[in-house]
Chains A and B, each alone.
Chain A
Amino acid sequence: MVSSLSKWYEKRSIKIAPYLFIAPNIILFLTFMVIPIFFTFYISFQQWGMFGKPSFIGLENYSRMFGDKVFWISLRNTVYYTAGTVPFSAALGLIGALMLNQKVPLRAIFRTIFFAPVVVSLVAAGLIWSWMFNPNYGLFNEILSKFGVHGVDWLSSSTWAMPAVILTTLWVRIGYCLVIYLAGLQAVPDSLYEAADMDGANGWQKFWRITLPTIKPTTTFILVMEIIHGFMVFDLVFTMTKGGPGYSTTVIVQYIYQKAFTEGEMGYASAIGTFFFFLVMILTLVQMRLGREKQ
């Protein structure tokens, strides 16, 4: 009797335990991730200020969005930022990884130095580089002047503010790509290179014919991560330019933030948020599909 009871208890607890174990996580996910997403869709059909009651206005927020010049500017800036950062951080990360994959002295120290900006907060990076880009006392223009180039007031120029933010991003992201590529390169089997050596292939051929195809999954992964990362840029822009001068560095996430929390247009901001949600989803799915097909 006693043993069957304890067996019953044991069986039951095995059945219940996993649900109890995942409960805290699931509750938090539902409350702060899943519900908010549907809530965002819902608010996007409402006219809703910071205070007061929401009222249903159908697709009006969306039609307003498509006619909103600043929305299109922020979309264009987001694409500009992503296109200006991703290819370079990936390519320079790969070049750095190829160099560190050789038998050079102090490899561990180099890796530490290149990776250090990755762990620093984007606010700190933004502040350091804002000061680097200071037109009068900054180091950046000082270095340029050594080469006879007269620097500009980077962050106050609607032409140059975005390149300045992009340069800062490269400082932060190259180390990340480098470390991921380094792991990918170390997985390339030596036998492939030895075979190529026998065939008399030169370094360049080995890179294009062996290295690059073998690390393709790494490249796909880096591109997916970096493009998503680029689309979600917020901290750096918020710290360095607040989207200015004018709207020259306003990106989507920051425009959503500004509409919602500075101007209190929750409904309209949610419509942009919903659009952004589907944009990122589609982008991710397309990239994953492309990455899979090419393998």
Chain B
Amino acid sequence: MSDNKALLAKEGKLDVSQPLSLPRLSPKKIKTTVIFLVLCGMAFLFLLPFIWMLSTALKTPAEVTAKDTHIIPDKLMWSNFSDALHAAPFAGYVGNSLIVSILAVILTVFINCLAGYAFAKYKFRGRNLLFLMILSTLIIPVQITMIPNFYILKYLGWINSYAGLIVPRAAEAFGLFLARQYIMNIPDSLIEAARIDGASEFKIFRKVILPNIKPLIAVLVIFTFMWRWNELAWPLIAVSEQSMYTVQLGLAMLKGEHFINWTQLMSLTLLSVIPILIVFLIFQRYFIKGMVGSGMKE
């Protein structure tokens, strides 16, 4: 463009004293283009670690340690995945994580919606106090309860068990808070109508509340699944036997083991990330809504 301008100026066709008016490049368009390019650059930097993981996962070990570092593998080694799965009992970790995450989702979402309903729609003694107590645990660092919880798990005989991985973390203050806020918006008249029809209190929950809170359930399911799938600290204290390792615990322990190389480790990391990325891509709307519209936490 500037070459053009110089050329035109030379030929005397361009009046330099006038502001240059090129029809399509308004300052606004220039601004948008610059912003777009910066965003592209930023997006590239954010994607690079993912690309690097994928690239390493598909290279031969020799190519990984070759002198020239490059992104696109010479040959796509899909067999890396099966090799990695043989080198470590990773399939078992995935199984454990799936069992823990899915059961935890069912339990957590159920008891949170139930309690959220009670806090939203019933008047009872101690309601505000109990709710405040639960809410205050949102700002209490979970990590300081590690030591007593270890003894409580031991006392219950829950070390190295699914129960120990699932039950203690099922009461999620975030979920309860979200459930209460959401259910408060359901009109009382619906509940009253069902009550006049002679429905039991639990039936009201089942037939009136549950069908009306599907978006809430979606958010709770997604977040609970993500937290349980991604969690490291709790499995670290609740589990000591390798057969009970979850994906994250297994991965963290594999790093630095002599029998595993970086191709294999990146293959396994990739496998661990895929489920959550797929869930994220499908339910993005809910992820972002859940994060933005609530007293969100990690």
> Are A and B bound to each other?
yes
Q: Which residues of A contact B202 (CB under 8 A)?
A: 17
B131-149 contact mask (Cβ, 8 Å, vs A): 1 or 0: 0011001011111111111
Expressed in whole angstroms, the Cα–Cα distance for A13 and B203 within the complex equals 12
- The answer to whether A137 touches B46 (Cβ under 8 A) is no
Expressed in whole angstroms, the Cα–Cα distance for A200 and B35 within the complex equals 23
Q: Is B9 in contact with chain A by the CB < 8 A criterion?
A: no
Q: Is B72 in contact with chain A by the CB < 8 A criterion?
A: no
Q: Which residues of B contact A117 (CB under 8 A)?
A: 46, 49
- The answer to whether B147 touches A128 (Cβ under 8 A) is no
* A131 and B232 in contact, given A22-B118, A37-B140, A238-B252 (Cβ under 8 angstroms): no
Count chain B CB atoms within 10 A of each CB in A36, A136, A225, A276 and give the residue with the most: A36
- The answer to whether B52 touches A128 (Cβ under 8 A) is yes
Main secondary structure, interface of B, reads helix
The smallest C-beta distance from B209 to any residue of chain A, in angstroms, reads 10
- The answer to whether A123 touches B252 (Cβ under 8 A) is yes
**Contact residue among A37, A114, A225 (Cβ-Cβ distance under 8 Å from B296):** A225
**Contact residue among B150, B168, B251, B297 (Cβ-Cβ distance under 8 Å from A127):** B251
* A17 and B145 in contact, given A37-B140, A114-B46 (Cβ under 8 angstroms): no
State the total of A-B contacts with C-beta under 8 angstroms.
266
- The answer to whether A114 touches B230 (Cβ under 8 A) is no
Expressed in whole angstroms, the Cα–Cα distance for A8 and B150 within the complex equals 46
- The answer to whether B145 touches A25 (Cβ under 8 A) is no
- The answer to whether B130 touches A22 (Cβ under 8 A) is yes
Count chain A CB atoms within 10 A of each CB in B114, B148, B168 and give the residue with the most: B148
Question: Can you name the residue of chain A whose Cβ is closest to the Cβ of B39?
Answer: A110
Q: Which residues of B contact A43 (CB under 8 A)?
A: 147-148
Expressed in whole angstroms, the Cα–Cα distance for A131 and B248 within the complex equals 17
Chain B positions 42-87 with a Cβ under 8 Å from a chain A Cβ: 42-43, 46-50, 52-53, 56, 64-65, 69
Expressed in whole angstroms, the Cα–Cα distance for A286 and B251 within the complex equals 38
Q: Is B288 in contact with chain A by the CB < 8 A criterion?
A: yes
- The answer to whether B273 touches A179 (Cβ under 8 A) is no
Task: Count residues of chain B with CB under 8 A from any CB of chain A.
Answer: 91
Q: Is B160 in contact with chain A by the CB < 8 A criterion?
A: no
The smallest C-beta distance from A95 to any residue of chain B, in angstroms, reads 9
A109-125 contact mask (Cβ, 8 Å, vs B): 1 or 0: 11111111111111111
- The answer to whether B141 touches A116 (Cβ under 8 A) is no
Q: Is A86 in contact with chain B by the CB < 8 A criterion?
A: no
B280-298 contact mask (Cβ, 8 Å, vs A): 1 or 0: 1100100110011000111
- The answer to whether B143 touches A232 (Cβ under 8 A) is yes
Q: Which of A65-73, A100-108, A157-165, A207-215 sits within the interface?
A: A100-108
**Contact residue among A112, A130, A257 (Cβ-Cβ distance under 8 Å from B255):** A130
The smallest C-beta distance from A182 to any residue of chain B, in angstroms, reads 8
- The answer to whether A261 touches B237 (Cβ under 8 A) is yes
Expressed in whole angstroms, the Cα–Cα distance for A173 and B288 within the complex equals 14
Q: Is A192 in contact with chain B by the CB < 8 A criterion?
A: no
A251-295 contact mask (Cβ, 8 Å, vs B): 1 or 0: 001001100110000100110011011001100100000000000
**Contact residue among A36, A102, A104 (Cβ-Cβ distance under 8 Å from B148):** A36
Expressed in whole angstroms, the Cα–Cα distance for A192 and B238 within the complex equals 53
* A32 and B49 in contact, given A17-B118, A123-B252 (Cβ under 8 angstroms): no
- The answer to whether A28 touches B168 (Cβ under 8 A) is yes
A24-62 contact mask (Cβ, 8 Å, vs B): 1 or 0: 111011011111110110010000000000000000000
**Interface of B toward A, CB cutoff 8 Å:** 31-32, 35-36, 38-39, 42-43, 46-50, 52-53, 56, 64-65, 69, 111-112, 114-115, 117-119, 122, 124, 127, 130, 133-134, 137, 139-152, 167-171, 173, 176, 195, 200-202, 205, 226, 229-233, 236-237, 247-248, 251-252, 255, 262, 265-266, 269, 272-273, 276-277, 279-281, 284, 287-288, 291-292, 296-298
**Interface of A toward B, CB cutoff 8 Å:** 10, 13-15, 17-19, 21-22, 24-26, 28-29, 31-37, 39-40, 43, 96, 99-100, 102-106, 109-132, 134, 136-137, 139, 142, 171, 175-176, 179-180, 183, 225, 228-229, 231-232, 234-235, 238-239, 253, 256-257, 260-261, 266, 269-270, 273-274, 276-277, 280-281, 284
**Can you list 10 contacts pairing A with B, beta carbon distance less than 8 Å?**
A14-B122, A19-B118, A22-B130, A29-B137, A32-B168, A34-B133, A40-B147, A124-B272, A238-B232, A257-B146
